[in-house]
């Protein structure tokens, strides 16, 4: 299940994007300290659900929905990314990404 905060982030991303949206979905070590981790769906289910939501929102652009196991994911090496959409909860990670880039 995708909560409303994540849905809002996805909606914001597709409003900004003109060609492509890259979504990193936490997996592995990023989940170890999550409360009620046992309730988190398998990564394949979460990737599928996010992809479906994005297709419903804006089917005419490219979507890359990938598991990430560290705060950077593909943002550390994908030089085609021009915008990062974060929430108050992920702002620290966004700051780290901007420092790395």
Residues ≥6 apart with Cβ < 8 Å to 16 = 83, 85
**pLDDT above 90 as % of the chain:** 67
Mean pLDDT of 53-75: 95
- Give the chain's mean pLDDT: 92
Across the range 66-78, mean pLDDT stands at 92
* Across 6-24, average pLDDT: 95
- Residue 24 Rama label (left phi>0; alpha psi -120 to 50; beta): beta
Confidence of residue 60 (pLDDT cuts 50, 70, 90): very high
pTM of the model: 0.88
Bridge partners of 67? 25
Q: Return the residue matching tokens 């394949």.
A: 44
Residue 53 in this model has a pLDDT that exceeds 90: yes
């Amino acid at each position: 299940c995708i909560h409303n905060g994540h849905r809002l982030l996805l909606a914001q991303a597709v409003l900004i994007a003109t060609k492509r949206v890259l979504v990193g979905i936490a997996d592995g070590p990023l989940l170890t300290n999550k409360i009620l981790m046992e309730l988190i769906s398998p990564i394949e289910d979460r990737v599928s659900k996010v992809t479906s939501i994005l297709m419903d929102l804006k089917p005419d652009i490219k979507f890359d929905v990938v598991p990430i196991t560290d705060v950077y994911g593909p943002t550390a090496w994908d030089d085609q990314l021009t915008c990062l959409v974060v929430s108050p909860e992920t702002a620290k990670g966004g700051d780290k990404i901007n420092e790395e880039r």
